[in-house]
């Protein structure tokens, strides 16, 4: 049975990270709402029956719509989330979910009162590198994990002063993804340490660099992003009591999408063998084994599969309310104080 939905927003987020995966599933996009229409982009849309509209009420008053995905700038996520939930429809909201923790809790409370699903779009839970790391942990290759480094680095020199507020910085835009990955694997940390700042032009009002350390009992996870990594660092470095795992380079889905290679291509998102991870571990005979770990192919569309299962079959959400609140608290605490600092999570 087809599932019917609508999308608010028709920019890069919708066209790159949502629509290519939705079209491969039994999901009907009945409406795409945008306050400024772009007829040149609407022409040739894969479903000629999709209605492009500037009338949000048309979307929210249609009883066929089961889900609305919000793909707008973060500053207006809260308002659209309220409108969707108050219309009696489930909502999926791009990251970061809201401006702050208070707005996040308000939306989740509203959804729960109305017996609806509200969830953040954490598509990078289905990154190939992350799925492979998760598998290595589940199989126990490294024993008890002790330390994890997660790098998402680039080389994009830009000496211009960046303007905007914290919502426009790298920490909120990218950090939310790789922080959420840690929370998904290990839960809520006890303390979090922060170093968030502009490094290319210190007069910038927004950050382009961050390192965030999440402290657990006898375990630490560090997530980091810099715009000036001319020599790429490993995507993941995991050390445990019985060995180590190293994964090179990032998930390939985004690179393929930028080239116009879509999810229906058999080679879409497949990692190169020279970038496969490697585990070095001690087996039960105390022999040291080195093994290449083929990368598990990612699929951002699995977010929709999981979400629809939650809506139709009342299954637990991919991103629980507790995980989302933890994500948002970590973000909010990070920008609440300037300069390096450590906070204890409540």
| Model pLDDT, residue 163 | 83
Question: Which tens digit of pLDDT belongs to each residue from 226-260?
Answer: 999 999 899 999 999 999 999 999 999 999 999 99
Instruction: Give the N- to C-terminal CA distance of the chain in Å, as an integer.
Output: 43
Q: What is the pLDDT of residues 159-179, one digit of tens each?
A: 888 888 888 899 999 999 999
For residue range 206-225, list pLDDT tens digits in order: 999 999 999 999 999 999 99
Tell me: pLDDT of 1 over 60: no
Of 79, 114, 115, 110, nearest in space to 97 by CA = 79
Rounded Cα distance between 141 and 283, Å, is 8
Bridge pairing between strands 288-293 and 27-33: unpaired
Q: Which pTM does this prediction carry? A: 0.96
Q: What pLDDT does 40 receive?
A: 84
Among 107, 122, 229, 99, which residue's Cα sits nearest to residue 168? Answer: 99
Instruction: Calculate mean pLDDT across residues 281-298.
Output: 96
User: How much is the mean pLDDT over the chain?
Assistant: 96
> Which residues are 185's β-sheet partners?
none
For 69-78, what is each residue's pLDDT tens digit? 999 999 999 9
What is the pLDDT averaged over residues 42-61? Answer: 95
DSSP-based three-state secondary structure for 72: coil
**What is the predicted pLDDT for the residue at 182?**
98
In tens, the pLDDT along 82-112 reads: 999 999 999 999 999 999 999 999 999 999 9
In this structure, the number of other CB atoms found within 10 A of the CB of residue 152 comes to 21
Task: Provide mean pLDDT across the span 57-70.
Answer: 98
pLDDT of residue 286: 92
């Amino acid at each position: 049975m087809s599932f019917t939905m609508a999308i608010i927003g028709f920019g890069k987020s919708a066209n790159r990270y949502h629509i290519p995966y939705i079209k491969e599933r039994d999901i009907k996009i009945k409406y795409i709402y945008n306050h400024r229409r772009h007829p040149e982009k609407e022409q040739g849309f894969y479903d000629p029956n999709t209605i492009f509209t500037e009338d949000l009420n048309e979307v929210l008053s249609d009883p066929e719509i089961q889900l609305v995905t919000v793909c707008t700038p973060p500053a207006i996520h809260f308002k659209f989330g309220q409108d969707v939930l108050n219309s009696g429809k489930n909502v999926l909201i791009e990251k970061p979910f809201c401006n702050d923790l208070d707005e996040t809790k308000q939306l989740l409370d509203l959804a729960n009162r109305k017996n609806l699903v509200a969830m953040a779009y954490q598509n990078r839970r289905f990154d190939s590198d992350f799925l492979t790391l998760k598998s290595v942990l589940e199989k126990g290759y490294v024993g008890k994990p002790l330390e994890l480094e997660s790098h998402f680095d680039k080389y994009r020199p830009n000496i211009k002063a960046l303007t905007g507020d914290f919502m426009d910085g790298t920490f909120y835009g990218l950090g939310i993804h790789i922080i959420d990955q840690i929370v998904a694997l290990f839960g809520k940390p006890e303390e979090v340490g922060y170093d968030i700042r502009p490094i290319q032009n210190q007069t910038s009002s927004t950050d382009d660099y961050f390192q965030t350390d999440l402290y657990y009992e006898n375990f630490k996870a560090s997530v980091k992003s810099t715009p000036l990594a001319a020599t790429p660092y490993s995507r993941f470095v995991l050390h445990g009591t019985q060995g180590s795992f190293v994964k090179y380079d990032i998930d390939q889905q985004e690179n393929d999408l930028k080239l116009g290679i879509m999810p229906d291509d058999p080679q879409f998102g497949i990692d190169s063998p020279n970038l496969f991870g490697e585990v070095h571990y001690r087996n039960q005979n105390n022999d040291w084994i080195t093994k290449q770990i083929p990368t598990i192919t990612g699929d951002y569309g699995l977010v929709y599969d999981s979400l629809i299962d939650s809506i139709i079959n009342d299954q637990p959400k991919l991103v629980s309310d507790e995980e989302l609140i933890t994500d948002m608290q970590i973000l909010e605490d990070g920008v609440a104080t300037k300069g390096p600092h450590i906070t204890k999570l409540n």
